[in-house]
Amino acid sequence: MSFSWRHQGPATAIGAALLALSTLSLAHDDSEASWRTACEGLDAVSRETCEVVVQFEEMAFEQRRPREAMERFAAEHFVDHNPNIRGDLASAIAHLARLDWSTAAPERKIVHFVVRGDTAMIHHHLIRKPGERGIAAVDIFRVENGKLVEHWDVLQPIPEDSVNPSPMF
């Protein structure tokens, strides 16, 4: 994956919200910047948050080791706000373990990465199965003492036809 810096404009409600929250904003393109350089130049709290989230994401999704990533980076009192699971660390690990990690799916294209203080947001195009249109997803993490302590996700299926002329990404 490659990324470049880009501050979000107020073109959409999401863009305005990201601008209000962003200390760092990273958008996908073909430049030389990467996840690793994304954390440079941030204040200490934002940098720690960025590094924890980047390392978690790399291990869980790029290296396809979600159980190990949760065990290493999530606090014992981790809370997941996904309404489809109990919300504790064990249920989050079980949820990730149910995904098929044997193929290239799930495939993700990071569109925006925003960090401010103890909070990080990743806006991405998620394709769970080859051939599907996918989902516009936002994962939000809160970090304390070098550990993930909370996670929220917002998932919006990508429709075949949209009345809105603006693209989702």
pLDDT digits (tens, 9 = 90+) for 116-164: 999 999 999 998 888 889 999 999 999 999 999 999 999 999 999 999 9
Instruction: Look at residue 167 and tell me if it is in a domain.
Output: no
Instruction: Look at residue 169 and tell me if it is in a domain.
Output: no
Confidence band, pLDDT 50/70/90 cuts, at residue 106: confident
Asked if the model's pLDDT at residue 27 lies above 50, the reply is no
143-155: pLDDT as tens digits = 999 999 999 999 9
| Distance between CA atoms of residues 148 and 146, nearest Å | 7
Give ∠ CA 158-164-168 in degrees, rounded to 5: 40
Instruction: Look at residue 124 and tell me if it is in a domain.
Output: yes
Confidence band, pLDDT 50/70/90 cuts, at residue 101: low
| Distance between CA atoms of residues 31 and 147, nearest Å | 30
Q: Which residue segment(s) compose the domain that 121 sits in?
A: 3-157
Confidence band, pLDDT 50/70/90 cuts, at residue 166: very high
| Distance between CA atoms of residues 160 and 110, nearest Å | 21
| Distance between CA atoms of residues 97 and 129, nearest Å | 16
Q: Write down the pLDDT at residue 102.
A: 67
Instruction: Assign 3-state DSSP to the chain and report helix, strand, coil percentages, each to 5.
Output: 30, 35, 40
Q: Write down the pLDDT at residue 61.
A: 84
Residue that the structure tokens 């098929």 belong to: 100
33-90: pLDDT as tens digits = 466 678 989 999 999 999 999 999 999 888 888 999 999 999 999 999 999 999 999 9
Q: Write down the pLDDT at residue 18.
A: 39
Q: What is the CATH number of the domain that holds 104?
A: 3.10.450.50
Instruction: Give the total number of structural domains in the chain.
Output: 1
Instruction: Look at residue 165 and tell me if it is in a domain.
Output: no
Instruction: Look at residue 73 and tell me if it is in a domain.
Output: yes
